[in-house]
Amino acid sequence: MKVVVKIGTASLTNEETGFPKPEILGEISEAFSYMIKKDIKPVLVTSGAIGLGLKPLGFKKRPKTITLKQAAAAVGQGLLMHIYSQFFSLLDIKIAQILLTREDIINRERYINAQRTFETLLQKGIVPIVNENDVVAVEEIKFGDNDTLSAIVSTIIDADMLIILTTTDGVYTKDPTTHKDAKRIKVVKEFTDEIFSYAAKTKTSLGVGGMETKIKAAKIATSVGVKVIIGSGKNPYKTIVGAIEGEDVGTLFLPKKKHLDSRKRWILYGLTPKGEIIIDEGAKEAIKDRGKSLLAAGIVDVKGNFMAGETVKVIDRKGNFIGQGIVKYSSEVLKNIKGKKTKEIERILGFLPFEEVIHRDDLSII
């Protein structure tokens, strides 16, 4: 069993000093020791590097410019790993640092290299501690928040469970800090508009994300078969161990039954879509229920500008996201051949490069 645990700045650090809280670090290391003894392979996704780098650089608050943030991250990341090493080593747990950017995931070779590194570390009993590589990441290659990063890491290692620790013990119908009648959502089976509406009502304080990014991360992870729990980071040992034991310790997001293979997970969440293809009901049924390739005949509209070999979203007429795939034709060509059958395509183009627009091996359906 493989488990990813994510803890954010608000749960981990002291707001005034920017330093991790010793009691939280102690509980996390105890929980990881518990998992290792249970033969569970755990991964930790953590924030906190930029906060730790502020004081050594003489900053009183988080800088706004990206270069100063990168400088703070460069100083803080080493301190963060040193602090984790001190706590984990007390329980004879070895750790390793993995820093990622979106670019590492988009590039297939780098994605596989990251996957193999995770596998090797976990096989050797070493706990990977993951953070976004803020030192080199610019806006175009940033994950944006570590909630998303934790979901992507879950897909990379084919995790069984993702535990997201936050400042509340789950998703609530209202802000529990101001409404006594607020109710915690115990189980989520489907990602409805109502579930996302609760995100704005559940206060999480501090951090880059918030409850909305956590729910979006849960949607990513559950779509590839990962069980997700959003629970309290105030007492992480109880939350982590409780989640492993199946106790009610937060909001449980149930996964979809099917598990996608490594390449399909990469296509779905590793690659950045450059456009959209809207399909009719017949094409939707063919690719979803019968595992067929997507043909031009089933395409009703094409949005965006993209080249052959790039990634696009596949959407139905109602705007529902069906999946993501690598196209064999550019948007310019597709606009000319959408809705056309094979013989018509050959007549329009003068030849037939490919029978399918997206081959089923290059198409990842949620």
Domain extent for 147: 2-260
Examine the domain organization and report whether 224 and 306 are in the same domain. Answer: no
SS3 assignment, position 117: helix
Examine the domain organization and report whether 206 and 322 are in the same domain. Answer: no
Sheet with 95-100, side-by-side order of all strands: 95-100, 127-132, 41-46, 2-7, 161-166, 227-232, 250-253, 187-188
Number of domains into which the chain is organized = 2
Place of tokens 């290299």: 113
Instruction: Tell me the two tokens of residue 307.
Output: 């080249």
pTM: 0.84
Which residue ranges of the chain lie beneath pLDDT 70? 137-142, 200-209, 257-259
**Read out DSSP for 327-363?**
-SS-HHHHHHHTT--HHHHHHHHSS-S-S-SB-GGGE
CA distance 335 to 259: 33
Of 163, 165, 170, 182, whose CA–CA distance to 235 is shortest? 165
> What residues form DSSP beta bridges with 277?
302, 314
Examine the domain organization and report whether 56 and 204 are in the same domain. Answer: yes
Of 150, 200, 190, 160, whose CA–CA distance to 46 is shortest? 150
SS3 assignment, position 171: coil
Q: Report yes or no on 288 lying in a domain.
A: yes
CA distance 263 to 243: 29
CATH number, domain with residue 192? 3.40.1160.10
180 Cβ partners below 8 Å, 6+ apart? none
Among 233, 260, 287, identify where a domain stops: 260
Examine the domain organization and report whether 85 and 15 are in the same domain. Answer: yes
What pLDDT score was predicted for residue 258? Answer: 64
Sheet with 299-304, side-by-side order of all strands: 299-304, 275-279, 311-316, 321-326, 363-365
What single-letter amino acid sits at 308?
Answer: A
Q: Report yes or no on 265 lying in a domain.
A: no
Examine the domain organization and report whether 54 and 190 are in the same domain. Answer: yes
What pLDDT score was predicted for residue 206? Answer: 42
Examine the domain organization and report whether 127 and 221 are in the same domain. Answer: yes
Among 200, 227, 260, identify where a domain stops: 260
Q: What is the tens place of the pLDDT at every residue in 267-317?
A: 988 888 999 999 999 999 999 989 899 999 999 999 999 999 999 999 999
343 Cβ partners below 8 Å, 6+ apart? none
Place of tokens 């043909």: 295
What pLDDT score was predicted for residue 62? Answer: 78
Q: Report yes or no on 280 lying in a domain.
A: yes
Q: Report yes or no on 50 lying in a domain.
A: yes
Q: Report yes or no on 279 lying in a domain.
A: yes
CA distance 225 to 220: 9
Examine the domain organization and report whether 239 and 307 are in the same domain. Answer: no
Q: Report yes or no on 267 lying in a domain.
A: no
Instruction: Tell me the two tokens of residue 40.
Output: 């569970």
What pLDDT score was predicted for residue 207? Answer: 47
Nearest 5°: the CA angle 258, 263, 267 is: 90
In degrees to the nearest 10, what's the CA dihedral of 336, 337, 339, 345?
140
Q: Report yes or no on 268 lying in a domain.
A: no
CATH number, domain with residue 318? 2.30.130.10
Among 232, 260, 288, identify where a domain stops: 260
What pLDDT score was predicted for residue 209? Answer: 53
Examine the domain organization and report whether 295 and 246 are in the same domain. Answer: no
Q: Report yes or no on 266 lying in a domain.
A: no
Q: Please, are residues 204 and 210 in contact by the beta-carbon 8 Å criterion?
A: yes
Examine the domain organization and report whether 252 and 337 are in the same domain. Answer: no
Examine the domain organization and report whether 199 and 280 are in the same domain. Answer: no
Examine the domain organization and report whether 280 and 196 are in the same domain. Answer: no
Examine the domain organization and report whether 86 and 185 are in the same domain. Answer: yes
Q: Please, are residues 174 and 255 in contact by the beta-carbon 8 Å criterion?
A: no
Q: What is the tens place of the pLDDT at every residue in 217-253?
A: 999 899 888 999 999 999 999 999 999 999 999 999 9
